[in-house]
Structure 1
Amino acid sequence: MFENSIRITAIATMLVLGACQGEDAQTPPERRAPQAVKIVPHQVGYATDTVRVEAVGTARARASATIQAEVAGEVIAVNFTSGDKVSRGDVLIRLESRAEQLAVEQAEVSRADAQRLIDRYNTVSTPGVIAGNELDRAEAAYDAAEISLSIARDALGDRTIRAPFSGYVGLTDVDPGARITPDTVLTRLDDRDVLYVDFPVPEQTFGRITAGDVFEVEPFSNPEASYEAEVLTIDSAIDTQTRAYTVRTAIDNSEDQLRPGMSFRIGFELPGQQYPSVPEASIVWGGDGAFVWAVRNGETARVPVTIVNRMEGMVLIRGDIPEGSWIVEEGVQKVRQGTPVEMPASRDTRPVATNGLASGGQAAAQP
């Protein structure tokens, strides 16, 4: 009897334990929350995409001409010394012109004869004495004499070489007595009171430079000196080979310290648009291009970006990254889309770029 009671108690206990185990097997386990990943964040600041332009240009005179004669002949006078400043119309060289002078005098005589004949016909008062066609022929002869005189004067003028504009004359190898032809180079004339310097500028700066802008330029002959160069005009097209366009500047050379042909160096910065500035380490490359991990509501979110420029360890990007938001700087390989992240409770925030400059930052609010 006692043994039967023990057996019944044991069986009941086993049934109770089995039922409990069955309930445990049917109850699903509780889902564990993903463990947060520790990262080093970066608070995004905006910086200006500053373009640095450096170029070299060669100066040329405001006006420049190679002086040559219109006709061949013998030089009888050279009226300048190399380096002289001359005015427009000044006589530089004279050629022998005796024959041309005689031709002018002969043309003047012919014109005078034609005029006298016309005057005689006009003084005759008796009708019918002078036929109408006679007067017409006299007037035609006068017109022809006028044309001949103009031709003779032009030929005489060609024997005198004058300055086409004011400027400085260069060297000459021509002396009195030398015979020259229209191909002979007599001298060079330069108006160098103002020098023009053309500089090639990258295509990315197009539209940021306008006429009237002033830049500092340095001559290679004296790097310690600097001159102001004012933008006169900008080329109307961009070179398809160099991807650059030409900017023409003017340098005041009224003190005559510079010369055409000198090389000048120009360097300046042009502020552009503002873009998010992030550390290079935060950029991740995938099959679709570059992206960053943004921290939003304590989780990571993949944000595609386009790299605009690099400067001193930072990268300017284009993407949906608001100023002041947070991204993952260190730990980018440990996170995925929607990964919870753990950020340091307190730290010294890295400098946040503003207007192209880094400003000292303090501990900022957590995202």
Structure 2
Amino acid sequence: MLRRRMLIMLGVVLLIVLVLGSYKAFSIYQQAQQFSVPKPPISVAAAPATERAWQNRLPAVGSLKALQGINLSLEVAGTVKAVQFESGQKVKLGQPLLQLDSDVETALLGTALADLGLAQVDYGRGSQLVGSQAISKGEFDRLTAQLARIKAIVAQLKASLAKKSIVAPFSGTIGIRQVDVGDYLASGTVIATLQDLSSLYADFFVPEQSIPKLALGQKVLVSVAAYPGQDFEGSISAINPKVEDTTRNVMVRATLANPDGKLLPGMFANLQVVLPNPRNEVVVPESAITYTLYGNSVYVVAQKKAEDGQPQLDAAGQPTLIAERRFVETGERRDGMVVISKGLKSGEQVVTAGQLKLTQGAVIAISPDKTIQAEQNSRPAR
């Protein structure tokens, strides 16, 4: 009886083992079938490498300065009697801007003018009397000296009186006023800023090895953060004849018109000096480049070859496309494009989106790159 039970238990165990083994074998078979099924192609975006006339540019950064710009301040102390401008007003050359209390100087000038009149009368009478020898030559010399001294006093008082007021030294736009009527101002107090915004200077530095590329009158494109995508055209007006000892850079000044008054002094500017002699270069979208420590590379769209060397066709009868990684030498970048100086030919297609999913030889399917199309539609013509 015991032997029979043991045989039954052994048969049950063998049956369970066979069931589990069959299930495992079926699972391994299914996995093998999945691996044997070809992977679907990876969807990527691609764009052709094109050859175009490329005008090299020398990039730089700088700041904008007014053609003429000063802080209006006083040479003498005094109390403000009248403010003759409004903040942000456009003023003309010689226009009165501020008047200090000048009652004391005016009274002194009146006294000096009275003395001057008497001195002129004495001098005129003396010039007649000295001719008839009614007075001595020494007395006439004293009258002459007295007239000259009083004239100098009058000129001095007029100069002091003139310093009690401020007039516009040039035409421009005046800033926010810093004083009010009745304020006592010490000498040197700034009352406002005056800027001539009709034209602007853009001062920037370039490395000393770039000096041979620069010339007076050379075109410069200026852009500022306030107006993204807009370039303001200027030209090089001066090159400093000295290299800075600490940085080995050379200061360059460009002049640009500002008829609409959009640009303001002090703005940070990105500049591009347009270099002469454009050349034909192979360019690709910047998104196609993969930057690594070992070098820059692109994925080139190629046709998969069969064993006989002929293009391998897919189920639809079209050539099977694969991605081939290729290392390239890159050059200048501008407007979303990169110059390829070595490693790529014009007309070859490169992957512009989806590179992270790719490996060497991966099968791919090309779909439109909507990002590049949107950038091209929104980018202004240059």
**TM-score category (smaller protein):** 0.5 to 0.7
Q: Is the 8 A contact 1:205 1:270 kept in 2?
A: no
Q: Give the CA deviation at 1:229.
A: 1.6
- Amino acid of the residue matched to residue 238 of structure 2? T
- Which of residues 118, 127, 137 is equivalent to 1:122? 127
| 3-state DSSP of counterpart to 2:264 | coil
User: In terms of Rg, which structure is larger?
Assistant: 1
Q: How do 1:1-367 residues align onto structure 2 when only pairs under 5 Å count?
A: 52-124=57-129, 127-268=132-273, 270=275, 313-314=328-329
Distance 2:225 2:61 in 1: 10
Name the aligned partner's letter for residue 139 of structure 1.
Answer: T
Question: Residue 111 of structure 1 contacts residue 142 of structure 1 at CA under 8 Å; is this kept in 2?
Answer: yes
**Change over 3 Å in CA distance of 1:143–1:269 after alignment to 2:** closer
Count, aligned residues:
240
Give the fraction of aligned pairs with identical amino acids, expressed as a percent. Answer: 31
Deviation at 1:153, TM superposition (A): 0.4
> Retained in 2: the 8 A contact 1:53–1:202?
no
Deviation for aligned residue 1:204 = 2.4
C-alpha separation in 1, matches of 2:65 and 2:78: 32
State how far apart, in whole Å, the 1-side matches of 2:214 and 2:56 are: 12
Which range is displaced more, 118-127 or 129-138? 118-127
Q: What is the deviation of 1:230? A: 1.0
**Structure 2 portions without partners, runs of 5+:** 1-53, 280-326, 332-339, 348-382
User: SS at the partner of 1:137?
Assistant: helix
2:213 is paired with a residue of what secondary structure? Answer: coil
Question: Aligned partners of 2:187, 2:61: CA distance in 1, in Å?
Answer: 36
Unaligned runs of 5+ in 1: 1-48, 275-311, 317-352, 361-367
Give the letter aligned to residue 151 of structure 1: Q
Task: Mark the CA change 1:83 to 1:132 in structure 2 (over 3 Å): closer, same or farther.
Answer: same
Given residue 209 of structure 2, which amino acid in structure 1 is its aligned partner? Answer: Q
Once residues 209 and 126 of structure 1 are traced to their aligned partners in structure 2, the CA distance between those partners, rounded to angstroms, is 73
Q: CA deviation at 1:242?
A: 3.0
Aligned partners of 1:239 and 1:77: how far apart in 2? Answer: 47
CA RMSD, 1 decimal: 3.1
Query: What is the DSSP-based 3-state SS (H/G/I as helix, E as strand, rest coil) of the residue aligned with 2:146?
Result: helix
Superposition deviation, residue 109 in structure 1: 1.1
The change in CA–CA distance for 1:266 and 1:122 in structure 2 (over 3 A counts) is closer
Distance in structure 1 (CA, Å) of the matches to 2:190 and 2:330 = 58
Give the 3-state SS of the residue equivalent to 1:119 in structure 2: helix
Change (3 A) 1:239 1:257: same
Asked whether the 8 Å contact 1:68–1:185 carries over to 2, the reply is: yes
In structure 2, C-alpha distance between the alignment counterparts of 1:100 and 1:178, rounded to whole Å:
19
User: Which whole-Å CA distance do the structure 1 matches of 2:232 and 2:330 have between them?
Assistant: 35
Provide closer, same or farther for how the CA distance between residues 88 and 50 of structure 1 changes in structure 2, counting only shifts above 3 A.
closer
User: Structure 2: how far apart are the matches of 1:257 and 1:212?
Assistant: 23
CA 1:132–1:358: 2 relative to 1, 3 Å: farther
Structure 1 letter corresponding to 2:91: V
Aligned to 1:42: none
CA shift for structure 1 position 51: 6.2
Greater per-residue helix proportion: 2
Cα deviation, 1:109-145, whole Å, max 9, x if unaligned, reads: 1111111112222333884421111111111110001
Q: Give the match for residue 10 of structure 1.
A: none
Contact 2:56 2:278 in 1 (8 A): no
TM-score, normalised to structure 1, is 0.59
